[in-house]
Amino acid sequence: MNSVSEQHAAGQPRSADDAPRTPFRRLILLLGCVALAGAAGALLRWLLGELVPEQGMKFPWVTFAINVGGSALLGLLVGIVHALPRTPGWVMPTLGTGLLGSFTTFSSVMLAAVDSMRLPTSPELNTPRELIDPALLDTTQMGIAFAPSPTVEWIAYLVISILLCSGAAAGGITVGHAIFGCDAPEDEGSKGAKR
């Protein structure tokens, strides 16, 4: 009766060193999966930013599209996970928090807003205002007496981003529920009432 399994079978208590370590190993494995998925999401976001650079754009369309599309995908994932209760426990942390969490970040929205609001400090800088024909910025020719300041434009951009990303996430949840049929599970009390 020297082995741990023989001691356990005989009813003898296990020592602290003999306790199973599977929950700890699962946690370490999950953290590794979330980290790898997070790295993949960040690299994908960076790659899209490199393929379609925003430096010459007055409006950061790439950041906007990434955040709205990623919010819709995150909502879809949440809808699917809630509709399918037997989804493995690693799916939401790995794909939701890791992949889509690093792919869609509000910090990128803020960075795009701050970068676009900076005034040029040297003629070599290619800011959005330098790339636009000054005649197009003259609103008096069009009968418009007020042109919004860059601050007003970017506050509007931030509000629009929050609203559209929230709407995209809600739409994704709705689509996930619709496709995978999210029926509310019946509790024991309602089953007995139907009989």
Q: What is the pLDDT of residues 7-16, one digit of tens each?
A: 555 555 555 5
* pLDDT value at residue 75: 94
Give the C-alpha separation, 172 to 104, whole Å. Answer: 15
Choose the most confident range, by mean pLDDT, from 47-56, 101-110, 166-175, 183-192. 166-175
Query: What is the percent of the chain where pLDDT is above 90?
Result: 35
Residue partners of 113: CB distance under 8 A and separation at least 6: 60, 154, 157, 158
For 53, 107, 109, 157, 165, the CA distances from 64, given in Å and listed in that order, are 13, 12, 7, 9, 9
pLDDT band for 122, please (50, 70, 90 cuts): very low
3-class DSSP state of 123? coil
Place of tokens 């990128």: 108
% of the chain exceeding 70 in pLDDT: 59
Q: Worst-scoring range by mean pLDDT, 71-85, 165-179, 181-195? A: 181-195
Among 52-56, 163-167, 170-174, name the one with the lowest average pLDDT. Answer: 52-56
Q: Which residue has the tokens 């929230």?
A: 166
Residue located via tokens 């509709």: 83
| Two structure tokens written together for 149 | 């300041």
Radius of gyration of the chain (CA): 26
Q: Which of the 8 DSSP states describes residue 87? A: S
Kindly report the CA angle at 58 between 159 and 72, in degrees rounded to 5?
A: 45
Alpha carbon 170 to its chain's center:
13
Decide: residue 7, CB within 10 A, 0-12 exposed, 13-18 middle, 19+ buried. middle
* CA dist., res. 64 & res. 163, Å (int): 12
58-94 confidence digits (pLDDT tens): 778 888 899 999 999 999 999 999 888 889 999 999 9
Taking alpha carbons only, the member of 86, 80, 115 closest to residue 100 is 80
